[in-house]
Amino acid sequence: METSVQARDPDERGYRIGAVSRLTGIPVPTIRMWERRYQMIVPSRSDVGARLYSAREVERLSLLKAAVDAGHAIGTVVFLPDEDIRARLERSGLRRAPAGERCRVVVIGRALGNRLIREWSGRPMLDLDAIYTHGELPPSGESIDALVLDCATLQTPQVRTVLDLAARFRPRLTVVVYGFASRATLRRLNRDGITAVRAPVDPAHLARVCLMSLNLVPPEVAEGVERLLVREVPARRFDEGALETVSTLQSSIKCECPQHLADLLTGLNAFEQYSLECESADARDGATHALLYSAAAQCRHLLENALEHVLEREDLKRHVLSG
C-alpha cells in the first residue's frame, strides 16, 4: 500500500485527525481507539487541544492499516518495527502500486454495473472495463484487477460459481456483493481470499475496495497441467440416479467397464463435493481445496466422456434416465 503523504493539513505544525483519516483510510474512531488501547502514537496538541500528527506518525498509521488490510490483527503488528511489518506485507503478497496505474474492473451483474458506471464517472484510477450478465463470462486470458460479482444470495451453487471464476480468471481481487448469506459461507469466502460486501453497497466504498487490488500481487499464470485445472468446471452429466442405473446394466461384450466407470464417477462426485465444502484454516488451505475441487471436476469430466462413449458403443445410453 502506498504510504507516502500526498496532502498537507492546513495547520503547518501537523496533520489534524480528520486529515490523517483521509490520508490513511482509517476511520477517526479507530485512530482514537488504537491510541487509547496501544499507546503506539502520542500526537502533539494544538493551542486549542486538537490532535496534531507528524508526517512520520501518518506514515506509521498507513503501514499499520496496510497490515490490517492484509489480514493481520492489529494487536499482532502494532508494536513491531516498520521493517518487520513491511516484511510481513511482502510475505502476504502486497506491493506498492506504480504511480499512475489504473484499476481494471469487470462486473458480473448488469444492474450493479450500470449503477457503478453512473457513480464512478470521472473517478481517477478506476476503469470499469466491462459488464456481463450472470449468463455471460469475460473472454479467457483477460487481465483483470478486480472482478465484482453481484449475488442476491450466497448458497453452495453461488459459492461454487464465485470460486470457479476466481480460479479461471485469477484477478488480483474478487469481490462479491451479496444480499443474504450465512456466517459459515462468509467465513469460507474469507478463507478463500474472496472479499464479501453486503448490499446495498456504497459505490464509493466499493471503489476503495477495488483499488486495493492494485496493491496485490496477481496470482501466478498457470502453465501445463495447472492451466487445465483452473479451467471452468464443467457441469455434471450423470447424476446419482443415472450412475446407479449404469451399475445394473449388462454389457453385450460381458465386461464390467460401465459399472467400474460408474463406481469411479460416484467416488469423484463425492470427493468433488467434499473439496468444495471442506474447512480451510487459511487462504492457502482454501486455494489447495479449490485446486482439488477443480482437479476432481476435470477428472470427472474426462470419465463422463468415456462412460458416454461406452454406453453409446454398447447401445445402453437409452437405458440411462439422465446423461
What pLDDT tens digit does each residue of the chain (323 aa) get? 333 333 334 444 578 888 888 877 788 888 888 888 888 788 888 878 788 888 888 888 888 887 777 667 787 788 888 888 877 776 655 555 565 678 889 999 999 999 999 888 877 778 887 788 877 777 665 678 889 999 999 888 888 888 888 877 788 888 999 999 888 888 778 777 788 888 888 888 888 778 777 766 655 443 444 444 444 456 677 888 888 888 877 666 567 888 888 889 888 888 877 776 665 554 455 556 666 777 787 788 888 888 888 887 777 666 664 44
Backbone φ and ψ for 198, nearest 5 degrees, come out as -75, 135
pLDDT score, position 150: 93
Give the residue carrying C-alpha cell 471442506. Answer: 278
**What pLDDT score was predicted for residue 141?**
59
What pLDDT does residue 97 have? 59
Give the pLDDT of residue 283: 43
Would you call the peptide bond into 200 cis, given omega within 30 degrees of 0 as the criterion? Answer: yes
Q: Rounded distance, CA 81 to CA 75, Å? A: 13
pTM: 0.44
Neighbours of 95 (CB within 10 A): 14
Q: How far apart are CA 156 and CA 189, in angstroms?
A: 11
Separation CA 15–CA 24 (nearest Å):
12
pLDDT of the residue at 43:
84
